[in-house]
Amino acid sequence: MKTRGLFLLFTGNGKGKTTAALGLAFRALGHGQRVAMIQFIKGSWKYGELESAKRFSDLLDFHVMGRGFTWKSDDLDRDIALAREAWRFARATIAENRHQLVILDELTYLVSYGMIPEQEVIDTLASRPPAMHVVITGRGAGQGLIEAADLVTEMREVKHPYSRGIKAQRGIEF
Amino acid sequence: MKTRGLFLLFTGNGKGKTTAALGLAFRALGHGQRVAMIQFIKGSWKYGELESAKRFSDLLDFHVMGRGFTWKSDDLDRDIALAREAWRFARATIAENRHQLVILDELTYLVSYGMIPEQEVIDTLASRPPAMHVVITGRGAGQGLIEAADLVTEMREVKHPYSRGIKAQRGIEF
């Protein structure tokens, strides 16, 4: 039987979406599978995983696309152009078919902000190489993405340390 | 300011709890922090992360405690003894204070099955080395654990591939 890739979606307002995707990468790399991790937003400050990624440089391609833009920017046209450029890169990575697992981290925000049509994401995933697993993370995934996905977990915030006045910690970085 | 460790709890019936803990390990390792991952249940079949862990053998201690017992066993006394032995090991690891992050994967089941008193877990965490981060994962975390934790995410199952008749995939292993 030929392996069919899964489309996994981690959404919701709780912590653990990106970290769960990282964990999947860790697991897949252990099987010797090639992994592409494309970060659309969080970008440059995630020092921890970038350092860890170096130990898997033979298998893991780690791309930080969010460095150049922010949602607080005054230049909306530039932001949209950068978002679409990041999305073009992701589509090219999928089409290239060099990876068994492709992670599109925080992609939902680009859809929520109207920078990428949801249908374009659904179509890209539907026409991906059949054995490829794809993970999309981010808050507020739309109904179309939820219907298209094979597995959907909502990470629901029950309690957050900021509500207790605790600052983000090095290594944990929540 | 001295760093204070966090107690994070990933619970709920959805997928992503253990994988989120793995992702945190991946991140912390990138900071050069020492990590202990203690698996209470899933055990021997998680080939992927065991292989990946080898690349971090200088920093990551990976302990699979669940190999010897199963919830379907006929020998309940033996199961309880094994569960308590695993828990003793976890407490010793915490007391030893050699790690910045300790992950107690699927520990909630031992509490749910009445093999470990919830209060014993709460007390152990309350008296841990102050800078140590601890992650507990597993379904059905009790109210006491939720109250004691700094951060709680409920991984809620929205859609599962088995409901579509899709088998577990190598590398993804859901």
Mark whether B124 is an active-site residue. no
For the segment B143-151, the average pLDDT, to the nearest whole number, is 96
DSSP B60-104: EEEEE-GGG--TT-S-HHHHHHHHHHHHHHHHHHHHHT--SEEEE
For the segment B113-139, the average pLDDT, to the nearest whole number, is 96
**Residue A44 pLDDT greater than 50, yes or no:** no
Mark whether B15 is an active-site residue. yes
So what's the pLDDT on residue B153? Answer: 97
Chain A positions in Cβ-Cβ contact with residue B37 (cut-off 8 Å)? none
- The residue extents of the domains of chain B are 7-164
**Residue B71 pLDDT greater than 80, yes or no:** no
pLDDT digits (tens, 9 = 90+) for A76-97: 787 788 888 899 999 999 999 9
So what's the pLDDT on residue B82? Answer: 82
pLDDT digits (tens, 9 = 90+) for B105-120: 999 999 998 889 999 9
pTM: 0.87
- A7, A10, A17, A62: the catalytic one is A17
Burial class (CB in 10 A: 0-12, 13-18, 19+), A167: exposed
CA dist., res. B115 & res. B31, Å (int): 35
Helix (H) or strand (E) holding B151: strand B151-159
Indicate the residue of B14, B27, B146 with minimum beta-carbon distance to A22: B27
- B7, B10, B11, B17: the catalytic one is B17
Looking at residue A173, the DSSP 8-state letter turns out to be -
Contacts with A164 (C-beta within 8 Å, 6 or more apart), sequence order: B150
For domain A7-164, give its CATH number from 3.40.50.10950, 3.40.50.300, 3.90.1150.10, 3.40.1360.10: 3.40.50.300
Looking at residue B162, the DSSP 8-state letter turns out to be G
- B19, B93, B124, B153: the catalytic one is B19
Chain B positions in Cβ-Cβ contact with residue A49 (cut-off 8 Å)? 23, 26-27, 30
Min Cα separation A92/chain B (Å) = 23
Question: A170 and B3 in contact by Cβ < 8 A?
Answer: yes
So what's the pLDDT on residue A149? Answer: 97
If you average pLDDT over every residue of chain B, what do you get? 87
Closest CA to A6 of B170, B139, B156: B170
Beta strands per DSSP E along A2-144? 7-11, 35-39, 60-64, 101-105, 133-137
So what's the pLDDT on residue A42? Answer: 58
pLDDT digits (tens, 9 = 90+) for B24-68: 999 999 999 999 999 888 554 467 888 888 899 999 998 887 654
pLDDT digits (tens, 9 = 90+) for A127-158: 999 999 999 999 999 999 999 999 999 999 99
Question: Angle CA(A71)–CA(A76)–CA(A82) in degrees, nearest 5?
Answer: 80
Min Cα separation B123/chain A (Å) = 20
Min Cα separation A159/chain B (Å) = 5
Mark whether B2 is an active-site residue. no
| B11-20, B49-58, B139-148: segment of lowest average pLDDT | B49-58
Residue % of chain B over a pLDDT of 70: 83
Burial A19-51 (b: 16+ CB within 10 A, else e): bbbbbbbbbbbbbebbbbbbbbbbbeebebbbe
